[in-house]
Amino acid sequence: MGFEKQTTKWPRPLAESFYRRPTASVARSLIGKTLLHRSDDRIVGGVIVETEAYLADGDPACHAARGMTPRNATMFGPPGRLYVYTIHAKYCLNAVTQRAGVGSAVLIRAIQPRWGVTQMQQRRGQQATDRLCRGPSMLCQALAIDLQHDGVCLTEDSSIWIGRAVERIATERIIAVPRIGISQAKDLPLRFLLQDSPFVSGPKYWHRTGARS
């Protein structure tokens, strides 16, 4: 996949029905799709290479586990909305899944930069392309996404959307591993990533084996 590729034919947004499915299925299916943000008269974004599913039932690590609050209300809204939250003064972005009233979402952890790389480098103060978007907060900083974007509809061609894949990815290259950066339900294999991608966060040996050793 090339990096500084610019085109006027952008990937079309995924339909709401894509998100109205079991959260783990959505998380796996998002690998290879595209995340884009139109800001400062330019589109920046790339190919999603790492996600984590947070389930409505039996998942104490999910923000919705204790019910709806002002902070997590977007998770209970219609599928295909952007749920943005803060942690340690940094931002993380999620795609809301299932039907309205069910609190579940997919955390987008990393992308392979493809469009607007120079702008992302300036925002991050980082030149290494493989370190621009390796983790949720780095991703939000590179794409200039914050709390003002909470609740944005990803299925409309507006400022932020998740689009179709630009290249086919073999199913066997998408692997499941335990989630990271959480204290509960750590062993559930709900983190999905593109095998051997240098743009994925975490220890490299997880990227190859699909399991912790």
Output helix, strand, coil percentages for the chain, rounded to the nearest 5. 25, 30, 50
Distance CA 44, CA 116 (A): 4
pLDDT, the chain, mean? 91
Q: What is the mean pLDDT of residues 132-155?
A: 96
Please tell me the predicted confidence (pLDDT) of residue 4: 43
Please tell me the predicted confidence (pLDDT) of residue 2: 40
Please tell me the predicted confidence (pLDDT) of residue 209: 52
Q: What is the mean pLDDT of residues 120-144?
A: 96
Q: What is the mean pLDDT of residues 157-161?
A: 86
Q: What is the mean pLDDT of residues 167-188?
A: 93
Asked whether residue 1 carries a pLDDT value surpassing 60, the answer given is no
Beta bridge partners of 44: 37
Distance CA 138, CA 115 (A): 16
> What structural domains and CATH numbers belong to the chain?
16-209 (3.10.300.10)
User: What percent of the chain lies above the pLDDT cut of 70?
Assistant: 91
pTM strictly above 0.85:
yes
Residue of higher predicted confidence among 99 and 181: 99
Counts for the chain of helices (H) and strands (E), in that order: 5, 8
- 34-39/160-163 β-pairing: antiparallel
Please tell me the predicted confidence (pLDDT) of residue 88: 86
Please tell me the predicted confidence (pLDDT) of residue 212: 44
Distance CA 96, CA 80 (A): 5
